[in-house]
Structure 1
Amino acid sequence: MTKEQLIAMQRQNAEVYDGDSMELRRKSREFLERLQMPIGLLPMDNMEELGFNESTGFIWMRQKKPTYYKFRQIGQLVRFDTEITAFLEDRRMRAITGVKGREFLVWIPVNEIQMENIPDPKNITFCTPVGI
């Protein structure tokens, strides 16, 4: 199943927001807070569309162009593609697409993000399908 087909299937029962960037930012923060994830975890500056299917936990975000962000505390450069998808759970994002971390001059896909120590997360774990 392609990413477009997955989004189309999840869209049927989803809350979909597009247009006003301030509304998109507010909604994305609301979703992340509800699931106890850090607000700065996803890029919010170039968003065009945000969708969330609460019954399945599926979220997607479309942005105008890819975004690069460096997490300074861990020195990790991350690339957020124009389309990001994931399934959200309490303190966890799984089956992530559209996110890559740079490690040893190679871009490696990130497929899961987990957190511990709520409400003040001290450890955020980025998992990859290749185990790096």
Structure 2
Amino acid sequence: MAISLLEEFGLPLGLLPLADVIEVGFVSSTGYMWIVQKKKVEHNFKIPSKLVSYGTDITGYVSKKQIKKLKGVLKAKELMLWPPVNEITVDDPPTGKIHFKSLAGITKTFPVEAFAAGQ
């Protein structure tokens, strides 16, 4: 169901490489989604060469081409720090870019293909 949510809202299918998912939920009236997995997962994306950490409880508000108020997911290692990502947006109209914003004021942009399924 997590992959279905990504697909439905036009987000890259490899954005959430999760394992041992216990529960997935979505409230269509608000866009609130949650994912619970058995343990924390770390994934190394090859193209942006980023190690990303996913917590056991992932929540946020998903809408067309974006996730806002994201918690528990996508902590990308930058300069020995792990700033949590608060928002993910895919350009609309499409430019092939995806943007990650953190509460710490760090914004990173990568090619959308970097987060395709199997990356």
* TM-score tier (shorter): 0.7 to 0.9
Q: How far does residue 118 in structure 1 lie from its aligned partner after superposition?
A: 6.4
Q: How does 1:111-130 map to 2 (within 5 A)?
A: 111-116=86-91, 122-130=96-104
* C-alpha distance after superposition, 1:7-31 (max 9, x if no partner): xxxxxxxxxxxxxxxxxxxx22211
* C-alpha distance after superposition, 1:29-58 (max 9, x if no partner): 211111001111112322110000011000
CA distance in 1, matches of 2:63, 2:80: 31
- Across the two proteins, how many residue pairs are aligned to each other? 105
Match in the other structure for 1:33: 7
**Aligned partner letter, 1:42:** L
Structure 1 portions without partners, runs of 5+: 1-26
Q: Secondary structure at the match of 2:5?
A: helix
2:84 corresponds, among 101, 109, 124, to 109
Distance 1:71 1:117, change over 3 A: farther
TM-score by length of 2: 0.82
Structure 2 portions without partners, runs of 5+: 107-119
Look at both structures and tell me which one has the larger radius of gyration over its CA atoms. Answer: 1
Greater relative CO (CA pairs within 8 A, separation 6+): 2
The structure with the largest helix share of the pair is 1
* C-alpha distance after superposition, 1:71-104 (max 9, x if no partner): 2111111100000001001000000000211111
Q: How does 1:1-132 map to 2 (within 5 A)?
A: 27-99=1-73, 100-116=75-91, 122-132=96-106
TM-score by length of 1: 0.74
